[in-house]
Structure 1
């Protein structure tokens, strides 16, 4: 809204009407005539504001004697198009002849015209291919060179760090707090679930209490980028310890940044996912008196990707210093998730986060329904992945192992001394890890 184009504010309008009413009442005393007068307020206008996100990109890579590459100075993306040209192409960075020791880094800075906004970073691995095997790779990789989706090792071999960063005033960037790090596969798993960004660079800011990014009047000032203070830096490296297992492999992935106005908004809307269900912690489970209760919500989200479906569980506590996922606050805290992969009424398997259970993939495990009972915890099956990012638990499930319509039951427990977090259609019911009648159904 542009106040300069509004001829009359609401407050002024009310005062004007009040004055007319008093004059009419006073003039009506002692006379049979009704005086009247009309004042017209013309050319009133309401003008909507705008929100337009520009992402300024500075990227470079170092491949030693093979060479180096960087984006052109002044590269920016507007509407997913490089340079904002209407018929342009999305920014695409390709690295060929990748070897151990190669590295790259990118900086993403933001012009949000002209309203402050909450921001999210999204992403997805779109390909992770084996592309056959050479003779040296066969000795190092016993998978047999399966050309199928997700068979490559490169996404697991590359190490990635995403951090906040700011202009250091000397032509470089000062790296701040880390947002997410790990293998490329782990980082992209977190990004497919959606990573909220904080305008003050606080990596620990709560989902519903973080600072928005400031707005600017224009994306450029005298042809120089006019950006918010906080930028996001992205660094990748293929460690020198990686061997022949990555020969001929290739990986492709997408980044996306999303801005949503902060006015009349709490920043909890996750644009990276397809569906979100919000449930409240239960501090009165079966009438028990809880020793260390805490209030909060769990945001259960599902993202249907090209190759995998991502389940994420973001825990938002009330700021009392007691955190649902903190094993120091609740020594037995855990999150089992039962999945009816084909929505036929029976849960097929569970994926579990439990930091003190000594699982094979500590702190993550997998158990399968063998026809009315669950066996001991196993390592996550091939193609499954999991990560804990701040107060969010994320599971990646290959699309071959889950249908586009499935049912999910989650039952976060703190071991009896604190609240539980239930995700099912009837929160008053206890969890049924076999029958999925009360589970939440999701569909692509």
Structure 2
């Protein structure tokens, strides 16, 4: 099928609220003559809105050897963005100082969703990755310059972070399936794109077929947390093989959890991005006969951050067992994305995911428009990043490389075996890698 009008969805956040919304009564059958009569009453009818209130229970600890040990107090929870849910409370903020190779930490986040089942997302952003000057031993191994506040630190790349599902069994935390594991910088790239969470702990479930998190009647039962079965665990470490390149460096980041009612909802709305464009796969482009067609949609998201803008492409396949991004189904599957960084009518460069191309940053590459042609594939420029998590491909672009208005053209291909996934203003038209007139325009 073709969709000539891509669907654009605005950002949505957590739904909440409680209140009475109406009273109604009815009477019937009052006699108006001296003949037979009867009366049936339906009294005290009421309609009461439900609620959806998300509380996040936090258990965090860190190990810095003899320097420091820290853990959150028992019973720490977040409600309304602040510790303990008090109006004058403070957001939960964890600071780690004097970080050294070998230091580590872990956190468990469990959810009380009162009182409706909900789809959940985890979002985040890396807000600082600074060099903060250089010591003499750091300068010997790090040629980035060391200017404070320039975002040239190495700590975000050095720290390793793993997000996993977990649950409580007999008082012990049991780690389940891994959601994403990479450097802190790449994990935060995935979170800025939005990571959908599944209520059954299945990390491979597509966003339109995942289980919501169950609701509970109250957040506490006899002062003990009353939570959904699935929790999310986060662990971090600075590997012992990291050297002087991280001296004096610092990072700052935020992350959030969102809950949205499951009723009358399919869970595909991503609250972590600022705008989404949805286009369907095209199985009959140019009237080709395909050997392996499949249906699905690509969700293109744009998230504007303090330092970078993230383009994300989530492929949602039908349930026929054939997946657009699976090289076992399509050996030549790929996704090139052309960007007109200043919306002047000409694409400036391409970002490419192609797992069998042998790119310098395999499976990612970068091609620059050299004035009517594209050069050979290069490594991603400094400050750019890319990551594939499940069926989502994300590209991080420094804000300095984009104007407030820019255009994007995507043309996912399965190498002729199956459909194409076009992201452009008119999906019935083929890709133009140079003229951006038919690209999708975004404005911050």
What is the alpha-carbon distance in structure 1 between the residues aligned to residue 44 and residue 189 of structure 2?
A: 53
Could you tell me which residue of structure 1 aligns to residue 100 of structure 2?
A: 99
Could you tell me which residue of structure 1 aligns to residue 153 of structure 2?
A: 152
Could you tell me which residue of structure 1 aligns to residue 65 of structure 2?
A: 64
Could you tell me which residue of structure 2 aligns to residue 173 of structure 1?
A: 173
Does the 8 Å CA contact 2:24/2:44 hold for their aligned counterparts?
A: no
The structural deviation recorded for 1:321 is 1.0
**SS of residue in 1 equivalent to 2:157:** helix
**SS of residue in 2 equivalent to 1:430:** coil
What is the alpha-carbon distance in structure 2 between the residues aligned to residue 221 and residue 40 of structure 1?
A: 39
Could you tell me which residue of structure 1 aligns to residue 333 of structure 2?
A: 333
Does the 8 Å CA contact 1:119/1:213 hold for their aligned counterparts?
A: yes
What is the alpha-carbon distance in structure 1 between the residues aligned to residue 417 and residue 311 of structure 2?
A: 27
The structural deviation recorded for 1:147 is 2.7
The structural deviation recorded for 1:315 is 0.3
What is the alpha-carbon distance in structure 1 between the residues aligned to residue 359 and residue 336 of structure 2?
A: 13
Could you tell me which residue of structure 1 aligns to residue 53 of structure 2?
A: 52
Select the structure that is richer in helix: 1
Could you tell me which residue of structure 2 aligns to residue 296 of structure 1?
A: 296
The structural deviation recorded for 1:328 is 1.2
Could you tell me which residue of structure 2 aligns to residue 137 of structure 1?
A: 138
1:222–1:341: structure 2 CA closer, same or farther, 3 Å change rule?
same
Could you tell me which residue of structure 2 aligns to residue 224 of structure 1?
A: 224
**SS of residue in 2 equivalent to 1:326:** coil
Farther off after superposition, 37-46 or 422-431: 37-46
Could you tell me which residue of structure 1 aligns to residue 202 of structure 2?
A: 202
**SS of residue in 1 equivalent to 2:49:** coil
What is the alpha-carbon distance in structure 1 between the residues aligned to residue 317 and residue 286 of structure 2?
A: 22
- The residue correspondences of 1:375-390 to structure 2 (distance < 5 A) are 375-390=375-390
Gaps of 5+ in 2: 1-16
Select the structure that is richer in strand: 2
**SS of residue in 1 equivalent to 2:146:** coil
What is the alpha-carbon distance in structure 1 between the residues aligned to residue 312 and residue 406 of structure 2?
A: 15
Structure 1 residues 50-73: Cα deviation after superposition (integer angstroms, max 9, x where no partner): 000000000000001112101011
Structure 1 residues 289-342: Cα deviation after superposition (integer angstroms, max 9, x where no partner): 000000000000000001100000000000111110011111110000000111
Does the 8 Å CA contact 1:152/1:250 hold for their aligned counterparts?
A: yes
What is the alpha-carbon distance in structure 2 between the residues aligned to residue 148 and residue 442 of structure 1?
A: 28
Does the 8 Å CA contact 1:140/1:244 hold for their aligned counterparts?
A: yes
1:396–1:34: structure 2 CA closer, same or farther, 3 Å change rule?
farther
1:45–1:98: structure 2 CA closer, same or farther, 3 Å change rule?
same
The structural deviation recorded for 1:142 is 1.2
Count residues in correspondence: 427
**SS of residue in 2 equivalent to 1:46:** strand
What is the alpha-carbon distance in structure 2 between the residues aligned to residue 418 and residue 376 of structure 1?
A: 26
CA RMSD, aligned part only? 2.2
Could you tell me which residue of structure 2 aligns to residue 30 of structure 1?
A: none
**SS of residue in 2 equivalent to 1:136:** helix
Q: TM-score, normalised by structure 1?
A: 0.92
What is the alpha-carbon distance in structure 2 between the residues aligned to residue 202 and residue 87 of structure 1?
A: 37
The structural deviation recorded for 1:5 is 11
Does the 8 Å CA contact 1:5/1:44 hold for their aligned counterparts?
A: no
What is the alpha-carbon distance in structure 1 between the residues aligned to residue 97 and residue 21 of structure 2?
A: 54
The structural deviation recorded for 1:6 is 8.9
The structural deviation recorded for 1:143 is 1.1
The structural deviation recorded for 1:45 is 2.1
1:38–1:441: structure 2 CA closer, same or farther, 3 Å change rule?
farther
What is the alpha-carbon distance in structure 1 between the residues aligned to residue 35 and residue 207 of structure 2?
A: 61
What is the alpha-carbon distance in structure 1 between the residues aligned to residue 328 and residue 148 of structure 2?
A: 44
Gaps of 5+ in 1: 28-32
**SS of residue in 1 equivalent to 2:191:** helix
Does the 8 Å CA contact 1:162/1:179 hold for their aligned counterparts?
A: yes
Could you tell me which residue of structure 2 aligns to residue 278 of structure 1?
A: 278
Structure with more contact order per residue of length (Cα contacts < 8 Å, sep ≥ 6): 2
Structure 1 residues 78-126: Cα deviation after superposition (integer angstroms, max 9, x where no partner): 0110011111110000000000000000000000000000000001001
**SS of residue in 2 equivalent to 1:66:** coil
The structural deviation recorded for 1:404 is 2.1
The structural deviation recorded for 1:141 is 0.6
Aligned pair 1:258/2:261, yes or no? Answer: no
The structural deviation recorded for 1:148 is 4.0
Which has the larger Rg? 1
Aligned pair 1:308/2:308, yes or no? Answer: yes
Could you tell me which residue of structure 1 aligns to residue 114 of structure 2?
A: 113
What is the alpha-carbon distance in structure 1 between the residues aligned to residue 22 and residue 434 of structure 2?
A: 61
What is the alpha-carbon distance in structure 2 between the residues aligned to residue 278 and residue 34 of structure 1?
A: 65
Does the 8 Å CA contact 2:301/2:313 hold for their aligned counterparts?
A: yes
The structural deviation recorded for 1:146 is 3.2
What is the alpha-carbon distance in structure 1 between the residues aligned to residue 316 and residue 111 of structure 2?
A: 27
